[in-house]
Chain A
Amino acid sequence: MRKEHLITATQLSRADIEAVLDRAAEIDADPSAWAEKYETAVLALCFFEPSTRTKMSFDTAMKRLGGTTTDMGGVESSSVKKGESLADTMRVVEGYADAIVLRHPSEGAAQLASEFVDVPVINAGDGAGQHPSQTLLDLYTIREHTGLDDLSIGIMGDLKYGRTVHSLANALTNFDVRQHFISPESLRLPRSVRFDLHESGAQLREHTELDSVLPELDVLYVTRIQRERFPDESEYRAVAGEYRIDAKTLEDGKSDLAVMHPLPRVDEIAPDVDTLEQAQYFEQAHNGIPVRMALLDELLGGVPQ
């Protein structure tokens, strides 16, 4: 890995990914061995957009490595409200921490931040851009459940604005994976993501319906279609209804299918799926801790203790 920063999944090679996942597995097997590894480290949590799980999981990951975190707090209470640029905020926060986790509503924010600071920046979501640390835990979950080669994955929902989708699709091109993208026409993958996928020789197909492709999938990655993406309520309801799954839908899938979701879900996965073997999304969320511990270890490695 370019050790400095984690900005987009396109920067990750197969070796980079495997190094983090292997380390995560080691941590998962014996977390207590890591409890004092980064005792003096401070991780800055800069969330310019609301977040529950990503923020909590970075917070927990840093603490489980023995370190502490410092939280910028909500945008409402911060200097951003007074009109400070992101560049300035980052330059100030750099002095407080050994690494920065950044979530921001604008695409390219993490890239910009990384140009102004010397500590590692982790992109925890930049608008409709990328969310590469989520991808690492997604890959960890897939590897544990199914393995990462000779795999058919269906990625469904809001593929246009879904940053977890963009990062996952990019990263999967490092493996022997057939990618099926299932979405309404209006929420197809953006041109820039398709460009990257073609550049890296991805095996991909796009569909507007799940039915035809479901039987061959090993993994179904569901994402939320947001109301705001549609001009009116009725259009939203008509479209979103097509990309919902329940226990009955899954009868046509493989019995060892893994159903995943970056969470939070609303109603795109019915609660009757939760108790099925296929439901992997809570496991997936839990994997955020060892994977983010491994990522922090990768990026902080060499920090003088």
Chain B
Amino acid sequence: MSDRELRVSKIRNGTVIDHVSGGQALNVLSILGIDGSEGLGVSIVMNVPSAQLGKKDVVKVEDRELSQSEVDVLSLIAPEATINIIRDYEVTKKTRVDQPETVTGILSCPNHNCITNGGEPVETKFSIVPDGVRCAYCGTIIRDSIAEHIDTE
């Protein structure tokens, strides 16, 4: 990325999530459970041109290095995302998101009659199926707009 396109200033330490599907940056933060109240420096760029994706978002989180398992759930909404760990202004590690086998506690089940919506002491759990996710309790499959089911509580 050229400096012309680097719309926010460089961070010293932290994580840059690049190549996020255009428009999904806020969902990325929501999945990561980052809402600003932690006091972390967060900057996002949305819908900037990308050769690969047409339009992409970029999310930068200062002073926090995200683990692979944390970022893997991003594959649900940003399958092309690249994760850059920044140390002392330099990219020290670059990985892709991998599809996890299950997603725990992030999505809520759209089936209102599902036991996970009944105030029970459990986290939701979804397994990954071809082009979607499936509730491990009631079996409901979510195919479209998975981001709408992110539990924002």
Chain A interface (Cβ < 8 Å from any Cβ of B):
8, 85-87, 104-109, 111-112, 115, 126-129, 191-193, 195-196
CB-nearest residue of chain B to A166: B139
Q: When the two chains form their complex, are residues A107 and B141 in contact, meaning their CB atoms are under 8 A apart? A: no
Instruction: List the one stretch of B37-45, B60-68, B92-100, B115-123 in contact with chain A.
Output: B115-123
CA distance A109 to B136 in the complex (A): 11
Q: When the two chains form their complex, are residues A129 and B121 in contact, meaning their CB atoms are under 8 A apart? A: no
A-B contact pairs, 14 of them (CB 8 A): A8-B139, A85-B121, A86-B120, A106-B113, A107-B113, A108-B114, A108-B116, A111-B115, A112-B115, A112-B122, A115-B122, A127-B138, A192-B138, A196-B139
CA distance A191 to B122 in the complex (A): 25
A19 to chain B, nearest CB (A): 25
CA distance A104 to B141 in the complex (A): 21
Contact of B137 among A111, A191, A193 (CB under 8 A): A111
Given contacts A111-B136, A192-B141, A195-B141, contact A106 B115 (CB under 8 A): yes
Q: When the two chains form their complex, are residues B113 and A105 in contact, meaning their CB atoms are under 8 A apart? A: yes
CA distance A115 to B122 in the complex (A): 10
Q: When the two chains form their complex, are residues B136 and A87 in contact, meaning their CB atoms are under 8 A apart? A: no
Which residues of A sit under 8 angstroms from B50, Cβ to Cβ? none
Contact of A112 among B113, B120, B140 (CB under 8 A): B120
Give the total of B residues in contact with A, Cβ under 8 Å.
20
B131 to chain A, nearest CB (A): 11
Interface string of B46-66 (1 = CB under 8 A from A): 000000000000000000000
Q: Secondary structure at chain B's binding surface: helix, strand, loop or mixed?
A: loop
Q: Tally of A-B residue pairs with Cβ under 8 A? A: 62
CA distance A279 to B40 in the complex (A): 70
Task: Say yes or no: is B20 at the interface (Cβ < 8 Å to chain A).
Answer: no
Q: When the two chains form their complex, are residues A129 and B139 in contact, meaning their CB atoms are under 8 A apart? A: yes
Which residues of B sit under 8 angstroms from A128, Cβ to Cβ? 113
Which residues of A sit under 8 angstroms from B119, Cβ to Cβ? 85
CA distance A105 to B113 in the complex (A): 8
Given contacts A128-B113, A195-B129, contact A108 B138 (CB under 8 A): yes
Which residues of A sit under 8 angstroms from B122, Cβ to Cβ? 87, 112, 115
A92 to chain B, nearest CB (A): 14
Most buried by B among A104, A112, A196: A112
Q: When the two chains form their complex, are residues B111 and A107 in contact, meaning their CB atoms are under 8 A apart? A: yes
Q: When the two chains form their complex, are residues A191 and B114 in contact, meaning their CB atoms are under 8 A apart? A: no
Contact of B138 among A85, A107, A191, A196 (CB under 8 A): A107
Which residues of B sit under 8 angstroms from A109, Cβ to Cβ? 115
Q: When the two chains form their complex, are residues A86 and B115 in contact, meaning their CB atoms are under 8 A apart? A: yes
CA distance A191 to B115 in the complex (A): 19
Interface residues of B in 111-153 (CB under 8 A from A): 111, 113-122, 129, 134-141
Q: When the two chains form their complex, are residues B134 and A192 in contact, meaning their CB atoms are under 8 A apart? A: yes
CA distance A127 to B137 in the complex (A): 12
